[in-house]
């Protein structure tokens, strides 16, 4: 099973990915957790280029192709082999991030994004995608609480950019059935509970058989 998490920065994805990973481990399931961009040696190197604030000259086309390259490597080196071994794969972001950030956020042509996304991911589509939705105001509040952390090249983007990304995600979720939209201002425990319930709905055996 392939599970992805999406949402604007600070929505709580990493927190939920970690809880879900622990949940599966407790159930005796083998699970592989990855993050995007990254997850392989090559992809982590591309991540460094993408997030480095020194690269302020990066064009949006370059940015999109780098995210796609990182993803193409991750899919072939890690995701496909893991799924073939029946390992549960959980990814913190996947191709929907490119549609939301580079497409809706930066304004690249969505039909071109779709073509390159398909090429990068081959036919590895997530079984379920959790969109943790928070407002840009909530994002800013959480960002301020973590003022000790240096923000990366994308995290310093404007509020208007984040607003477009959020709306883009909601539009995508409306179009594709694999999405589950969760209000990210609920408690961490409540969100985790919703996630488990939804996974068990689509794949009962994955959670119950052990
Ligand atoms: P992301 O991976 O989406 O950037 P994180 O999981 O790192 O988000 O969470 C961002 C910040 O928000 C962290 O400080 C985290 O403790 C906090 N957080 C996560 N989930 C919630 C929640 N449901 N309610 C309030 N704060 C949360
Ligand atoms: P990261 O530190 O992993 O952020 P987060 O914890 O919010 O996932 O940085 C990834 C950044 O890259 C994040 O701001 C979202 C952005 N991004 C894109 O713009 N396009 C993409 O395709 C992906 C995967 C990420």
Distance 95 CA to ligand 2 centre (A): 11
CB-based burial label for 153 (10 Å; 0-12, 13-18, 19+): middle
The Å distance, Cα 124 to ligand 1 centre, comes to 27
Residue nearest to atom 2 of ligand 1 (CA): 14
Homologous superfamily assigned to 2-202: P-loop containing nucleotide triphosphate hydrolases (3.40.50.300)
Write out pLDDT tens, residues 93-132.
999 999 999 999 999 999 999 999 999 999 999 999 999 9
- Answer yes or no: is the C-beta of 10 below 6 A from any ligand 1 atom: yes
Burial 5-37 (b: 16+ CB within 10 A, else e): bbbbbbbbbeebbebbbebbeeeebebbbbbbb
Our answer on whether the CB atom of 143 is closer than 6 Å to any ligand 1 atom is no
- Strand pairing partners for 179? 129
pLDDT digits (tens, 9 = 90+) for 172-184: 999 999 999 999 9
Indicate the pTM of the whole model: 0.96
What ligand 1 atom has the least distance to the C-alpha of 145?
14
Task: Give residue limits of the domains in the chain.
Answer: 2-202
CA of 188 to the centre of ligand 1 (A): 8
């Amino acid at each position: 099973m392939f599970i992805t998490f999406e949402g604007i920065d600070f929505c709580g994805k990493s927190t939920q990915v970690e809880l879900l990973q622990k949940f599966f481990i407790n159930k005796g399931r083998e699970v592989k957790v990855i993050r995007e961009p990254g997850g392989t040696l090559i992809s982590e190197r591309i991540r460094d280029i993408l997030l480095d604030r020194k690269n302020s000259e990066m064009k949006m086309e370059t940015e999109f192709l780098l995210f796609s390259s990182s993803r193409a490597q991750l899919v072939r080196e890690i995701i496909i082999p893991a799924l073939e071994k029946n390992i549960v794969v959980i990814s913190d972001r996947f191709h929907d991030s490119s549609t939301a950030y580079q497409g809706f956020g930066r304004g690249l042509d969505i039909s071109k994004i779709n073509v390159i996304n398909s090429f990068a991911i081959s036919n590895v589509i997530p079984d379920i995608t959790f969109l943790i939705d928070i407002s840009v105001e909530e994002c800013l509040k959480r960002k301020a609480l973590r003022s000790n952390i240096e923000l990366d090249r994308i995290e310093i983007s404007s509020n208007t950019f984040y607003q477009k990304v959020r709306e883009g995600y909601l539009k995508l979720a409306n179009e594709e059935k694999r999405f589950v939209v969760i209000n990210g201002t609920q408690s961490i425990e409540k969100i985790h509970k919703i996630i488990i319930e939804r996974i068990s709905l689509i794949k009962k055996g994955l959670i119950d058989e052990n």
